[in-house]
Every structure is written in C-alpha cells, then in structure tokens.
Chain A
Amino acid sequence: MTRSKILLFAAMLAAGCATTKTYQGAAPENVTVHSSISKMRGAMHVHEVDAACRTQYLGSVQLDQPSIALGLPPERLSYVVVSFEGSSFLGGSTTATSVGTLVKPRAGYRYQFEVTYRDSIYHVALRETDPRRGSSRELARRDLTQCGV
C-alpha cells in the first residue's frame, strides 16, 4: 500500500470515528431499551432539541445487549433515532435505515423502548410508565416535523 493510500485510509477511518460518540446520558436513568436485533448492528442516537426545534447530536449507544439503561433529561425535548446498519456478505455494500421520535420525558416517569429487527422487518415502540400508579401507555412516534406542534 502506498503512503498516499495509507493516509487516505487513515483519514477515512478518523472521519468515520469522528461522526459518532458515546452518549453519556443524563441522571436519573429513566429509559430502558430492550432490543432483539438479528444480523444487523443497532444503535440509538440521542439529540437535544431546542425551542426553535434545532437538534444537536449528543451521542450514541450501541444496542449490542438485550437490555440497556440510559438517562434522557426530564422535561426537555430529545430526538432519539434508532438505526440499523448492515453489510453485505462480502462487505461490498452497507445499508442503513433509521427511525426517529421526539420524546419529552416527564419527571418521575419511566420509559421503555422495544426494538426488534428480524428478517428485514423492524419494530420500534416506546412506552411510558408511571411507577407510582403502575399505569403505562404506548407513545406514538413523533418525527421532527411535529416539533413545536
């Protein structure tokens, strides 16, 4: 490999690494993500949303375990994107599909994402639970166009 190719490869690698960072999370851990993902890499990307509906990327969490916990800031709007990424058999192509939702966690409530991907069919559901009453409800997905509505 020539020097220029090595430099190009290193630059591409660095660029790829620079686009994602680990989401540090907020306290308390009010979100649980249950995932079952087959033959793809799943990740959750967290963005904060300001009053003008502008997003700022905060970081990502790999969905490589059946259950993970993280914190989203209560009473503040976040935009959470779940992505599925895969490569072809010989690595000649990569595909990425993603689904995002706005969520504004209420203080004292718990949130549960259910993420599945099997046979090219995926499902992302979000449920809100009030631990004091034991009641829960499924939240409809709200995309960015519904911000401020």
Chain B
Amino acid sequence: MTNRAMCAALFLLCSGCAQNYPQNAQEFREAIPGAFMGKQQSFEANRPLREIARSLEARAPECLNVSGRTVSHSATSYQNILATYKATVLATDKKVELHLQRNYERGVLVPGKVPPGGLYMLVADATPIDRGRTRIDIYSPSMGADVLIRAITGWATGQNLGCPDMTKAS
C-alpha cells in the first residue's frame, strides 16, 4: 500500500469514529449527565468558599499540572502512554471552578478535535451554601476518577492535602 493510500485509510478510519468532545468546561458539564460512564456527584464541605478557594488554588497546580507515564506490555503488544495534565482554577466571590484536562503526548490517537490543553476529564464547582458551608459538584467519568475525587474531597474538606497519583486516573 502506498503512503497516500495508507493516509487515506487512516483518515477514513479516524473520521468514522470521530467524536465531538466537549470543547470547554460548560460543554463538559452538560455532556456528563447523559454520557455513557459519566457521573455527577455532590457533597458538602464544612468550610467557607474562600478557604476552599485557597486550598484548590494551592493544591491543584502543584498536584495536577504533571505528567504520567503508563507502560503496558503483553506477549503480543506494547504500549507506552505519556499524558500531560493541566489544571485551571477560576475563583470569584460566588464560585470556584476547577477544570482538569488531559493531553496525550504519546501512545494514544484521539479521533476528534481536542480542545487546547487537552480533553476535559473532570470539572468541579464549589458554591457557597452559607457562610461556613460549601457545596461541591463534581463532573467526571464514572470509572477511573476515584483517586481524583478523593484528592479533591481532601482539599475541599482540608482533611488531606496530598496529591493524587495521576497514573491511577484513567
């Protein structure tokens, strides 16, 4: 097969399974409730919004702006995946948002338009309930985000400021 034919075959393959990925956090929020393997969950933290903003602003860049490598091998295959993560925290007096994106640097072909910074993999919103309590809404996949959700819960409640091992988030 010539290079041209191979390119055409690859293009057809990609266009056949192309996905419309959320291009921003709002699109991600709207997509998760109806998505296969999407999950929205909420909890209350007994801390004011301002304190949670401080925790997220301190921990998210340090813990989530990282790269993670996963190497899988079997008798017939070998896969070396390098993913880079980007966290964005937007804080106002009324709301704090955490956006997490993942960009595959190596090992994964993404069929579709990837937004700048990578595919959205989690969005968390913090909004005040009253002066001392805050509601946290998390939009994420239903599988593979457990470690991320535990970390964000720890930051929001102030009970665990550790970082999630991003290689455990799939």
Contacts and interface: CB of A to CB of B under 8 A. Distances in A.
Interface in B52-78: 62, 66, 68-74
Contacts of B72: 92-93
Contacts of B69: 95-96
B118 interface: no
Contacts of A93: 70-73
Q: Is the interface of B mostly helix, strand, loop or mixed?
A: mixed
Interface residues of A, number: 17
Query: Chain A interface secondary structure, helix, strand, loop or mixed?
Result: strand
Given A93-B72, A121-B165, A123-B161, A99 B150 contact: no
Given A97-B66, A97-B68, A117 B73 contact: no
Q: Report the interface size class on chain B.
A: 20 to 34
Contact of B73 (A92, A96, A120): A92
A113 interface: no
Nearest to B151: A121
What 7 pairs across the A-B complex have the smallest Cβ distances?
A: A95-B167, A93-B72, A123-B162, A121-B162, A120-B168, A120-B147, A120-B165
5 contacts: A99-B163, A119-B147, A121-B162, A121-B164, A123-B163
Interface of B: 62, 66, 68-74, 147, 150-151, 154, 160-168
